[in-house]
Amino acid sequence: MEAQYRPADVERSAQQAWEASGAHRAVETPGKPKYYCLSMFPYPSGKLHMGHVRNYTIGDVLTRFHRMRGYNVLQPMGWDAFGLPAENAAMANGVPPAKWTYDNIAYMKKQLKSLGFALDWERELATCRPEYYRWNQWLFLRMLEKGIAYRKTGVVNWDPVDQTVLANEQVIDGRGWRTGAVVEKREIPMYYLRITDYAPELLTALDSLPGWPERVKLMQANWIGRSEGVNLAFPYTLEGESKLLRVFTTRADTLMGVTFAAVAAEHPLATFAARNNPPLAAFVEECKQGSVMEADMATLDKKGMDTGLTVTHPLTGAEIPVWVGNYVLMGYGEGAVMGVPGHDERDFAFAKKYGLPIVQVTEVPGKPFSLDGWQEWYADKTSCRCVNSGKYDGLDYQAAVDAIAADLGAKGYGEKQTTWRLRDWGISRQRYWGTPIPLIHCDACGDVPVPDDQLPVVLPEDCVPDGSGNPLRNRPDFLDVDCPKCGQPARRETDTMDTFVDSSWYYLRYACPDNAASMVDDRVPYWMPVDQYIGGIEHAILHLLYSRFWTKVMRDLGLITVDEPFANLLTQGMVLNEIFFRKEGARLVYFNPADVEIRTDDKGARIGAVLKRDGQPVETSGIGTMSKSKNNGVDPQALIEQYGADTARFFMMFTSPPEQTLEWSDSGVEGSYRFLRRVWVFAQEQSATIGAVAGTTFTAADATLRREVHTVLKQATYDMERKQFNTVASAGMKILNALQDAVGTASAAALREGTGILLRVLYPVTPHLTHVLWSELGFGSDITVAPWPDVDAAALDRSEIELVLQVNGKLRGSITVAKDATREAIEHLALENPNVQKFVDGQPVKKVVVVPGRLVNVVV
RNA sequence: GCCCGGGUGGCGAAAUCGGUAGACGCAGCGGACUUAAAAUCCGCCGGUGGGAAACCGCCAUGCCGGUUCGAUUCCGGCUCCGGGCACCA
C-alpha cells in the first residue's frame, strides 16, 4: 500500500484492470434492463477542451451509477469528423483535412482514455469514413424517391472576391472574413429535406418527452412556430394580366387598417417595377447586399422604396401602394406582407419614416391611441375590439378574424391557414470535407441518382482546399463519370452534405457499427431509444430537431420503430473562465488567467489583478466561454498530468450543477485534489483497523456516525437520481468528515461500513481512486460490479426532533420534542416558551401554525 | 430585433412540496506543528447596531410591487448577464 496518493499510478492500475476485464464492453442481453447513455460526440478539433471533459464526465457518472443499479449500460464514443475547421486548418497548414482529422482523432482518443471513461471503444465510429457516410447517401436516395428530398434554389452568402460561398461564421459585420469584401446574397440550386412535412408531429410529440427540459421543448416549439392565420390576396393587374399578391397574416382582424403592402427585393413585382426605375433598381441591388443571417436581418435599419405600383384591397377595393422592403424575406411565404402601421410595431416605424398613413382599427377601452409614438397595446389581441372597420366594428379578435376570413372566402380572396415558422432543411454545402451528395449530372438525363450498388461515392482524401472554392471541382477522377442511365459522359455533383446530417443518426449506428450490409439491424431495437442524452445547451434546437426529424423519416421508411430518439435529455452548461486584457494602442491583448495573479485585501475581496511576468496591472472584462480569441482556455491535458483524471472529474462535478455554467478556478481544483488525497490517506491510516473486520455488529456509540452517514447517503442517492452531481460530491466530503470525526469513538465495523459507502458514493465520479481502495481494503475484487449502497432506515431513526419557533414568521428560538408529540402538546410548549412570550408581549394570539417536523409559527 | 435561461456572502454553490437562508468547498484571518517553508491539523468567517463578553436586535437571495401566518421558492413589472437565431459544431 502506498502511503501517498499518486494519481498517475492509481489511474494506470485501474485502467489496466478495466481493459483486461473488458469492464466497459456492452453486450446485448435480452431480459436485462438496458440503459443507453450517450454524450454528444466531439468534433475532432485537435485536443479535448474543458467542455468535453465536463460533458463526458457527466455521461460517465450516469453510466457507472446505472451499472451499480443493475442496468446493462451502453456508453459509446465516436467522431463528428466532417466540417469546416478541417478545411481552415488545411488552408493554414497545407495539410489535407483527412490527415488533420485522423491525427486529431488519434490524439483525442488517447486523452479520452486517460480520463478513464467507461466507453465501449469497439463501437467507435467516425463520420468521415465511407463505411459510415455511405448510409447518409443511401438514405438521401431513399428520401429522394419518396419526395422528402427535393431540389430548389436557396440564398447563400457570396464572397465576390474569392468567388466562393461563405458560411455564416465566415461573415463578419457583413464582410468576407478573408477578403473583407461586402458579402452578397446569391441564389443557387440546392437540395432540401421536407422537415416542414413533419412540423405537426415534431411539435405535438414534444409532449411525449417528459424527460426533456421544459426550456428546450419551449425553444423547439417556438422554432417550429405554428401559427394560425389567414392567407389572403390583393388582386392587381400587370401588363393587362390579372394577378394576386398573396400574403399571410395572423392579424386578419386589422385588414381594414392596411395602408401599404411590402414585397421582398427578389419579388417579381419589385423586379418589374425596377425595370424602368433606376433608383428602385439600385435599392433592389442594395437589398441584396449583406449577410443572410436572421439576427442581421432583424436588427438592420428598416428601409423601403415605393414601386409606384398598387394592388387592390380585397374588401374595400381601395388602391394600396406596393413598397419594396429590405426586411421582407423571399424565403418566407410568398415574399410579401401587408402593412398595418396602426397595429404592428415594425409597420408603425416604417410608416412614420416614409409618411405612409396610419389608421387605428382596433381599440382597447380606456386607452388613447396617438400617432406620436408606439404603445404596446396597439398590437394587443386579447382585449381589443374593431373600430373604423365598417361592418366589423365591435367584434373581438377571434370574431373579426372569422368574419373577415368568411368574407374573403366568399370573394375567392382568402382562407384560413396554419403556417409554420420552420423552414425546409437545406443540406447542400459547397464544400469539400463532407459527405458527397450521390447525384450525377447528365446533359441528356438531368440529375441522376447514383445507383445503390455504386455506393458509397467515396470522397478523395488527398485534397487541400485553398479558399477558392470546392477542390473537388479540380478533380477529374472524381468528377468524370458515365451517366448511370444512358452511359454518356456526365459530371458528378460536387456539393457535400451539411454535417448535421452526419450527427442526425449516429446514435443508431452505435448499435451496429460493424454492419457493412445495412444501415441498421436488429440490435438497434434492443438499445434504442437513447435513455440519456447529454450535450451542450447550444444544441437545444438545430441538432436535436434534425435528429428527431431523421428518426421519424427512418421510422416511416420502415427501418426503425422508435418515434423519438432521446428519452431523456440533459443540457450541460458551458465552461467559463475569466478574461484578462490590456489595451495596447488600439488593440486588446489578452492574457491567460494562469499568467495573472489576483490581488486581494485582508478579507479576501479582490482589489486588482497583475500579470505575473511584469507585476503590472491587467484589466478584466468579466467571464466568458473558454476560447482561443480571448486566451482564457485551460488545457485539460495539463490538469490531468498535474492532478490526475479523478481530480479533473471531481472538480467538474463538484463546482456546479450540470445544467449551469461552470466557472474555472485553479484553487477549486486544488481543493478537489486535497479532498481526494484526504480520502486516500484516511483509507491507508485506517486500513489496519477496518480492513479485516467482518460482520455488522454496531455499538451504541456508533449511532451518531451511522445516522450521519446514512442521512447523507439518502440525500446522495436522491441527488444522483436527479443528476445533481455537485451535491453528490459534497456528500462524499460530508461522509469523510463524519468518519474522521468518529475515529476513536465509533467501532471498526461502523467505520468500515461508512468507508464502504464513501467509496461507492464517490465511485461514479472518481472511479480510479475508489477502484484501488475498494480492493485494497478488502471490500471486493472489483468495484465496477459493486451495487450502489442501501440506506439503513433504522440508522436514521430519532426519538426526538427539533422544532423551530417563529412569531409572525420570524425565527425566535427552538424546542425539542418527542418525535410523536401531539399537536396540542407542541402548541402548548411553543406558547410557554419564554422567547416566544417575549415577542408575543401580551398581545392576543390569532392563530398557531404547526408544520409537522419543522416549525411552529405563532401569529399575533 | 425575436425565442430561451440565469442573477443568493470576498468566490463556486446549498436550501427536495412555500417553512431555521448560506450545507459542502475555495479564498481570507488567527493559532498549532516546524530552525524555516511546504504539507497537515484546530478555530473564526454575510452586513450592521448594542454589549467587556456571553449574547441580543435589525437588514440581507439583482431592483420595484403583489399574494401568504411565512417567499431564494408563487404572480406582475423592470434591469443586467449568458445561450440560440437555420452554412461553427
Mean pLDDT of A292-297: 84
Which cell is A851 given? 408544520
Pairwise CA distance, residues A134 & A497, whole Å: 12
Position A189 scores a pLDDT of 93
Q: What share of chain A is helix, strand, coil (3-state, %, to 5)?
A: 40, 25, 35
Would you list the DSSP string of A64-111? HHHHHTT-EEE---EE---SHHHHHHHHHH---HHHHHHHHHHHHHHH
Pairwise CA distance, residues A318 & A311, whole Å: 8
Position A604 scores a pLDDT of 65
* Residue A214 amino acid letter: E
Count of beta carbons in the 10 Å neighbourhood of residue A816: 10
CA A297 to C1' B1, whole Å: 9
- Residues of A (224-283) placing their beta carbon closer than 7 angstroms to any atom of strand B are none
Mean pLDDT of A476-505: 96
Pairwise CA distance, residues A198 & A601, whole Å: 60
Count of beta carbons in the 10 Å neighbourhood of residue A475: 16
Q: Is the pLDDT of residue A585 over 80?
A: no
Contact A753, A709 (CB under 8 A): yes
Q: What angle separates helix A703-721 from helix A725-742, to the nearest 10 degrees?
A: 170
Place A294 in a pLDDT band, splitting at 50, 70 and 90: confident
- Look at residues A721, A719, A741 and name the one whose alpha carbon lies nearest to residue A730: A719
Residue-wise pLDDT for A22-70, tens only, equals 999 999 999 899 999 999 999 999 999 999 999 999 999 999 999 999 9
Q: Is the CB of A55 under 7 A from strand B?
A: no
Pairwise CA distance, residues A680 & A684, whole Å: 6
Q: Is the CB of A809 under 7 A from strand B?
A: yes
- Residues of A (118-177) placing their beta carbon closer than 7 angstroms to any atom of strand B are 154, 156-157, 165-170
Position A634 scores a pLDDT of 84
Peptide bond before residue A657 is cis, with ω within 30 degrees of 0: no
Residue-wise pLDDT for A709-728, tens only, equals 999 999 999 999 999 999 99
Residue-wise pLDDT for A171-211, tens only, equals 888 888 888 899 998 889 999 999 999 999 999 999 999 99
Q: Is the CB of A609 under 7 A from strand B?
A: no
Count of beta carbons in the 10 Å neighbourhood of residue A811: 12
Pairwise CA distance, residues A174 & A399, whole Å: 45
Contact A168, A157 (CB under 8 A): yes
Position A1 scores a pLDDT of 59
CA A347 to C1' B63, whole Å: 33
Position A334 scores a pLDDT of 81
Pairwise CA distance, residues A151 & A599, whole Å: 61
- Residues of A (572-591) placing their beta carbon closer than 7 angstroms to any atom of strand B are 574
Predicted model pTM: 0.93
Q: Is the CB of A656 under 7 A from strand B?
A: yes
Mean pLDDT of A389-403: 93
* Residue A43 amino acid letter: Y
Position A295 scores a pLDDT of 84
Position A813 scores a pLDDT of 86
Would you list the DSSP string of A817-839? EETT--HHHHHHHHHH-HHHHHH
Helix H segments across A722-781? 725-742, 748-762, 767-776
CA-to-CA dists, residue A665 to A182, A445, A461, angstroms: 42, 63, 42
Position A512 scores a pLDDT of 97
Mean pLDDT of A792-821: 88
Q: Which nucleotide is at minimal CA–C1' distance from A154?
A: B87
CA A678 to C1' B35, whole Å: 28
Which cell is A317 given? 377595393
Q: Which nucleotide is at minimal CA–C1' distance from A169?
A: B88
CA A36 to C1' B35, whole Å: 61
Helix H segments across A237-344? 268-274, 278-287, 294-299
Pairwise CA distance, residues A673 & A669, whole Å: 6
* Higher-confidence position of A800 and A681: A681
For residue A430, give the DSSP letter: -
Residue-wise pLDDT for A480-494, tens only, equals 999 999 999 999 999
Place A597 in a pLDDT band, splitting at 50, 70 and 90: confident
CA A689 to C1' B38, whole Å: 30
Pairwise CA distance, residues A385 & A376, whole Å: 16
Q: Is the CB of A721 under 7 A from strand B?
A: no
Residue-wise pLDDT for A218-256, tens only, equals 999 999 999 999 999 999 998 889 999 999 999 999 999
Tell me the percentage of chain A whose pLDDT exceeds 90.
68
Q: Which nucleotide is at minimal CA–C1' distance from A219?
A: B4
Position A602 scores a pLDDT of 65
Pairwise CA distance, residues A258 & A409, whole Å: 18
For residue A211, give the DSSP letter: B
Residue length, chain A?
860
Would you list the DSSP string of A319-364? EEEEEEETT--TTSTTSEEEE-TTT-HHHHHHHHHHT------EE-
Place A589 in a pLDDT band, splitting at 50, 70 and 90: confident
Q: Is the CB of A299 under 7 A from strand B?
A: yes
Position A324 scores a pLDDT of 93
Mean pLDDT of A795-819: 87
- Residues of A (67-86) placing their beta carbon closer than 7 angstroms to any atom of strand B are 80, 82-85
Residue A151 bridge partners (DSSP): A191
Residue-wise pLDDT for A651-710, tens only, equals 999 999 999 988 888 889 999 999 999 999 999 999 988 887 767 788 888 999 999 999
- Look at residues A157, A162, A191 and name the one whose alpha carbon lies nearest to residue A172: A157
Q: What are phi and psi of A741, to 5 degrees?
A: -65, -30
Q: Which nucleotide is at minimal CA–C1' distance from A573?
A: B83
Question: In this structure, are strands A260-263 and A428-429 parallel, antiparallel, or unpaired?
Answer: unpaired
- Residues of A (366-405) placing their beta carbon closer than 7 angstroms to any atom of strand B are none
Mean pLDDT of A97-118: 97
* Residue A190 amino acid letter: M
- Residues of A (742-781) placing their beta carbon closer than 7 angstroms to any atom of strand B are none
Q: Which nucleotide is at minimal CA–C1' distance from A299?
A: B1
CA angle, A515 as apex, A510 and A517 as ends, to 5°? 140
Q: Is the CB of A814 under 7 A from strand B?
A: yes
Peptide bond before residue A529 is cis, with ω within 30 degrees of 0: yes
Least confident of A136-145, A373-382, A463-472: A373-382
* Higher-confidence position of A450 and A331: A450
Mean pLDDT of A624-643: 84
Mean pLDDT of A843-859: 89
Q: Is the CB of A685 under 7 A from strand B?
A: no
What is the pLDDT of chain A when averaged over all its residues? 92
Mean pLDDT of A789-809: 90
Residue-wise pLDDT for A744-760, tens only, equals 899 999 999 999 999 99
Residue A805 bridge partners (DSSP): A813, A856
CA-to-CA dists, residue A474 to A393, A429, A494, angstroms: 67, 17, 10
Pairwise CA distance, residues A658 & A558, whole Å: 37
Which cell is A583 given? 489595451
Q: In angstroms, what is the C-alpha Rg of chain A?
A: 34
Rounded to two decimals, the ipTM of the complex is 0.95
List chain B nucleotides near protein: any atom < 7 Å from a Cβ: 1-5, 10-16, 19-21, 23-29, 39-42, 47, 57-58, 69-71, 81-89
Question: In this structure, are strands A800-807 and A855-859 parallel, antiparallel, or unpaired?
Answer: parallel
Pairwise CA distance, residues A282 & A301, whole Å: 17
Mean pLDDT of A254-263: 94
Q: Is the CB of A197 under 7 A from strand B?
A: no
CA A811 to C1' B18, whole Å: 16
